[in-house]
Structure 1
């Protein structure tokens, strides 16, 4: 026996309710919709989510941009292409980059991104990095490790 072969007993089928066909039908006059008002009229009434003109919930909830993130972390971001000017086997930290002049402001812990190419082997200490940056650094013969100042960061920030 399959699901499409199932059917109710012939005596168990119930007639559909015929609304607004006189008082003898049981749902005459206003047909169970009350006396007046928007929900008693023909048609669907209101759209789903309509709150009577009040700003609906889906428009009150903040989305996408322009609302503060809770525990948002700011990083000092730099791409690997900017590190090509450094000497081979240099230890790269936020302080060393500021001393050389590659980074001018300290916006938070250092994060390395993978835009561009890297041709120099460097020993980088950063709070976070992208997977593409890690691949380019290791391909060039360098290493990347977590900076000691930030302990709670995962390796890709």
Structure 2
């Protein structure tokens, strides 16, 4: 295959539709816009959500809830995920390098989900009561 021999697949390219060019074209006179009305005129479109002057739906419904500004900074790590990390000492930096938490995470917490088979030492990471018991039962420790 040469660069000068590349062409689109058959049927992939269509000629531009020329509207308003006589009745024989099938798109003459009104050019596919129908008769009269706002949508038939040049520039005759309204903004998204406009309902003809009626109060739009997004303004009729009440505001609800909020977006937490700190949610993107918090992360949870399952106990079973700690099993897959090489090394015995685990801190936030190691969790980020392993891809278990996002790079923007500031607060990480280990939760009891799954099992841990080996002894690990957690440094500077809070854990739930159940997760702490499971880590210590496997011979690990939490600092």
TM-score after normalising by structure 1:
0.43
TM-score after normalising by structure 2:
0.47
Report the structure number with the largest CA radius of gyration.
1
